[in-house]
Chain A
Amino acid sequence: MSFLNVIRRRLMFLILVLFGVTVITFTISNLIPGDPARMIAGDRATPEIVQNIREDLGLDKPLPVQYLRYLEGVVQGDFGNSIRTRRPVLEDLRIFFPATLELALTALFFATALGIPLGVASAVWKDKPIDHFVRVIAVTGISTPAFWLGLLVILLFYGNLGWLPSGGRIDPSLEMPTRVTGFLMIDSLLAGDFQAFGSALKHILLPAFTLGFVHLGVVARQVRAAMLEELQQDYIRTAKANGLSRFKVVFTEALPNAMIPSITVLGLALGDLLYGAVLTETVFAWPGMGAYVVNSIQALDFPAVMGFTVVVSLAYVLINLAVDLIYMAVDPRIREVS
């Protein structure tokens, strides 16, 4: 099967997923006790005012009708208006999603840039001190709550050492670069504003480390396991018998093949990072989707919450599609079978 076929099949699948996601979130939103109309109207509003708001928002219609109306909007790219911010949800997401994606990708970069070498070292020097060290790091990473780790690094790097800022995306005294990608680090470079870039980089270090630390362990463990598996394959022995150096055997023979199963883990990690950012963003006052959705939940802002859910699900499916395509690109056996 060709790349195009995979893409086509996955996109059809995507429609089903989005349908399921909207049904579930819509149902749950309406099962939660609480009345958005009353929240908007405030404590002292008369029942008539509340009723008017309810009718304005279409909340007086039967649920299926409300759902179909919502779906009608979604397929046209209209996620409704946020009850809390009074802006279209899509516009809000356009502001907050890039911030979260920038944080998640930086965290993923951190997790892979450290996790892959640590995993490789751990497998090559199995049962040696470096292996024990990596295993400790991995278990620590997986079992450390992000909010606690976040507070700890703020205490150390902001409180005690004063090296890094405690929150936000950029120094408030600096002018924000022109928005192109929504990624501050890229936008500031595009604008040639190195001061803003430096500030953005400093601001992202602690939250990206905190968010990425959990996945650093996951990645290191996965790469270690996959490398151990590959290193005992017969083709490794052939490579050695062919006179390839130890370095080449590890990096040109074993590692590329070990990365094939690891790609799945990286794809899942990126998905996790997107919604895992919710807690981290709260700790670091990072103005991303996580903070946005937490505030929206508290305000019973259902259109916003549903918009968030749909976008994250969409991202999940697209990431998985990317994983499948990468699989096909790197493994000729999968190209053949599918």
Chain B
Amino acid sequence: MADPVLKIDGLEVLFPGFAGDVHAVNGVDLDVQPGEIVGLVGESGSAKSVTAMTALGLLPTGAFRQSAGTISILGRDVATMSEREMNKLRGGDVAMIFQEPQTALNPTKTIGKQMLRVIELHSDLRGMAARDRAIELLKDMRINDAEEILGRYPFELSGGMRQRILIGMAFACSPKLLVADEPTTALDVTVQRQVLQLLHAKARQTGASVLFISHDLAVISQFCDRIYVMYAGRVVESGPAQKVLGNPQHPYTAALIEALPEDADPGAPLASIPGTVPNLVNPPKGCAFQARCRHAHAACDSRPVLTDVGSKHQAACWLREEISA
């Protein structure tokens, strides 16, 4: 098997704060293989984005500290790379799209200017050739009047249009890894579907790997080959999408699936997970989900580790160990 395009080992990230350090990421192991679409799922505050942003070095310097772990992209340890090398990587072999297409583009520069900037930075295309490439990218994203769009400003375009432009920009230099951080959350449902399909088709067509971050299980299930479920800065379950979603082995994953509105009876209250994500200034010693888990018992006071619960399927829960033991 080829080198993973992204490999994260034992990542720990903390944010220094007045009340004490916030332990946002607490030992995450994660990998993305070539051509694979990997989902990272969890509720708000589970550190999905922080994990991805740390990997690409996009967190504001000074605001956080990576206290442990290694990150390698395309086989290279990020810690050994200079700022210049990272800049070459970002926008080139590694691209990222974000949650808010409304604000992710510079409001005072035309779309063309912003697209050409990336193309010229990471390829040999210049002038008209770069412009042609930009038009081609937009056309790939089903933007018909691409020439005209290049002269427009972001505020003149809809959210769906902007996100398609951002996806087009992300694919500008044929990235090997695309990190998509909730790319459709801010869009309405019909546009969401269209954007997802475009993203999916483009990824498959170019062979790019995708790390897809979302709190939307329905989207994840349609889109991803393999998923990681995160809770309170840890991976609690991972495996092929059908297995994890069809046969969840961690009570948190199960609760998330139960909370999907699709299966609810009309008129009946929607299922939810009681309580909130634990305070990560003083993370719980045992299983972080213990306080909200209906299966919690004495063993949960010590922390479970990820163990195999099936082929390529892992979960971190004492319940499974006891059953298998």
Interface residues of A (CB under 8 A from B): 126-127, 232-235, 237-246, 253, 256-257, 260, 330-333, 336
**17 residue pairs A–B, Cβ–Cβ below 8 Å:** A127-B62, A237-B58, A237-B98, A238-B105, A240-B90, A241-B58, A241-B96, A241-B98, A242-B91, A242-B117, A242-B169, A243-B87, A243-B90, A244-B87, A257-B107, A331-B108, A333-B108
B223 within 8 A of A: no
Closest 5 CB pairs of A and B: A243-B91, A242-B91, A234-B103, A243-B90, A241-B96
Measured between beta carbons, the chain B residues less than 8 angstroms from A331 are: 108
Instruction: Tell me, rounded to whole Å, the shortest Cβ–Cβ distance linking A332 to chain B.
Output: 4
Measured between beta carbons, the chain B residues less than 8 angstroms from A260 are: 108
Contacting residue for B155 out of A239, A243, A256, A332, CB 8 A: A332
Measured between beta carbons, the chain A residues less than 8 angstroms from B155 are: 332-333, 336
A244 to B122 Cα, complex, angstroms: 10
Please state if A233 and B108 are interface contacts (CB–CB under 8 Å). Answer: no
- Number of B interface residues in the complex (CB < 8 A): 31
Please state if B108 and A332 are interface contacts (CB–CB under 8 Å). Answer: yes
From residue 81 to 113 of chain B, which have CB atoms closer than 8 A to chain A?
83-84, 87-92, 95-96, 98, 100, 103-108
Please state if B91 and A241 are interface contacts (CB–CB under 8 Å). Answer: yes
Please state if B153 and A238 are interface contacts (CB–CB under 8 Å). Answer: no
Contacting residue for A333 out of B56, B91, B117, B153, CB 8 A: B153
Q: Known: A243-B90, A257-B107. Contact between A332 and B117, CB under 8 A?
A: no
Instruction: Tell me, rounded to whole Å, the shortest Cβ–Cβ distance linking A21 to chain B.
Output: 35
Please state if A240 and B58 are interface contacts (CB–CB under 8 Å). Answer: yes
A253 to B118 Cα, complex, angstroms: 13
Question: Taking each of A240, A241, A253, A333, which has the highest tally of chain B beta carbons within 10 Å of its own beta carbon?
Answer: A241
Interface residues of B (CB under 8 A from A): 56, 58, 60, 62, 83-84, 87-92, 95-96, 98, 100, 103-108, 117-118, 121-122, 153, 155-156, 166, 169
Instruction: Tell me, rounded to whole Å, the shortest Cβ–Cβ distance linking B186 to chain A.
Output: 11
Measured between beta carbons, the chain A residues less than 8 angstroms from B91 are: 241-244
Please state if A243 and B118 are interface contacts (CB–CB under 8 Å). Answer: yes
A333 to B166 Cα, complex, angstroms: 20
Please state if B118 and A242 are interface contacts (CB–CB under 8 Å). Answer: yes
A32 to B95 Cα, complex, angstroms: 71
Q: Known: A243-B89, A244-B87, A246-B83. Contact between A238 and B108, CB under 8 A?
A: no
A244 to B116 Cα, complex, angstroms: 12
Instruction: Tell me, rounded to whole Å, the shortest Cβ–Cβ distance linking A108 to chain B.
Output: 24
A242 to B90 Cα, complex, angstroms: 6
Please state if B87 and A245 are interface contacts (CB–CB under 8 Å). Answer: yes
Please state if B84 and A235 are interface contacts (CB–CB under 8 Å). Answer: no
A246 to B91 Cα, complex, angstroms: 14
A260 to B60 Cα, complex, angstroms: 24
Instruction: Tell me, rounded to whole Å, the shortest Cβ–Cβ distance linking B11 to chain A.
Output: 19
Measured between beta carbons, the chain B residues less than 8 angstroms from A242 are: 90-91, 117-118, 121, 169
A234 to B100 Cα, complex, angstroms: 8
Please state if B89 and A235 are interface contacts (CB–CB under 8 Å). Answer: no
Q: Which residue of A lies closest to B89 (CB)?
A: A243
Please state if B107 and A243 are interface contacts (CB–CB under 8 Å). Answer: no
Measured between beta carbons, the chain B residues less than 8 angstroms from A253 are: 106
Measured between beta carbons, the chain B residues less than 8 angstroms from A237 are: 58, 98, 104
Measured between beta carbons, the chain B residues less than 8 angstroms from A256 are: 108
Please state if A239 and B106 are interface contacts (CB–CB under 8 Å). Answer: yes
Please state if A234 and B107 are interface contacts (CB–CB under 8 Å). Answer: no
Please state if A257 and B90 are interface contacts (CB–CB under 8 Å). Answer: no
Please state if A336 and B156 are interface contacts (CB–CB under 8 Å). Answer: yes
Measured between beta carbons, the chain B residues less than 8 angstroms from A233 are: 103
A331 to B153 Cα, complex, angstroms: 10
Instruction: Tell me, rounded to whole Å, the shortest Cβ–Cβ distance linking B33 to chain A.
Output: 22
Measured between beta carbons, the chain B residues less than 8 angstroms from A332 are: 107-108, 153, 155
Please state if A235 and B107 are interface contacts (CB–CB under 8 Å). Answer: yes
Please state if A243 and B88 are interface contacts (CB–CB under 8 Å). Answer: yes
Please state if B108 and A330 are interface contacts (CB–CB under 8 Å). Answer: yes
Q: Known: A240-B58, A241-B90, A245-B87. Contact between A257 and B95, CB under 8 A?
A: no
Question: Taking each of B95, B105, B107, which has the highest tally of chain A beta carbons within 10 Å of its own beta carbon?
Answer: B107
Measured between beta carbons, the chain A residues less than 8 angstroms from B118 are: 242-243
Measured between beta carbons, the chain A residues less than 8 angstroms from B104 are: 234-235, 237-238
Please state if B98 and A238 are interface contacts (CB–CB under 8 Å). Answer: yes
A332 to B96 Cα, complex, angstroms: 26
Measured between beta carbons, the chain A residues less than 8 angstroms from B89 are: 243
Contacting residue for A235 out of B60, B105, B121, B156, CB 8 A: B105
Contacting residue for A243 out of B62, B100, B108, B121, CB 8 A: B121
A256 to B275 Cα, complex, angstroms: 45
Q: Which residue of A lies closest to B166 (CB)?
A: A238
Measured between beta carbons, the chain A residues less than 8 angstroms from B156 are: 336
A245 to B87 Cα, complex, angstroms: 6
Q: Which residue of A lies closest to B101 (CB)?
A: A234
Measured between beta carbons, the chain A residues less than 8 angstroms from B106 are: 235, 238-239, 253, 257
Please state if B84 and A257 are interface contacts (CB–CB under 8 Å). Answer: no
Question: Taking each of B83, B87, B88, which has the highest tally of chain A beta carbons within 10 Å of its own beta carbon?
Answer: B87
A330 to B169 Cα, complex, angstroms: 24
Given contact pairs A235-B104, A244-B91, enumerate 13 new A-B contacts (beta carbons under 8 Å): A234-B103, A235-B106, A238-B105, A241-B56, A241-B90, A241-B91, A242-B117, A243-B89, A244-B87, A244-B121, A246-B83, A331-B108, A333-B155
A233 to B104 Cα, complex, angstroms: 8
Please state if A333 and B83 are interface contacts (CB–CB under 8 Å). Answer: no
Please state if B98 and A234 are interface contacts (CB–CB under 8 Å). Answer: yes
Please state if B108 and A241 are interface contacts (CB–CB under 8 Å). Answer: no
Measured between beta carbons, the chain B residues less than 8 angstroms from A127 are: 62
Measured between beta carbons, the chain B residues less than 8 angstroms from A330 are: 108
Please state if B92 and A243 are interface contacts (CB–CB under 8 Å). Answer: yes
A253 to B113 Cα, complex, angstroms: 12
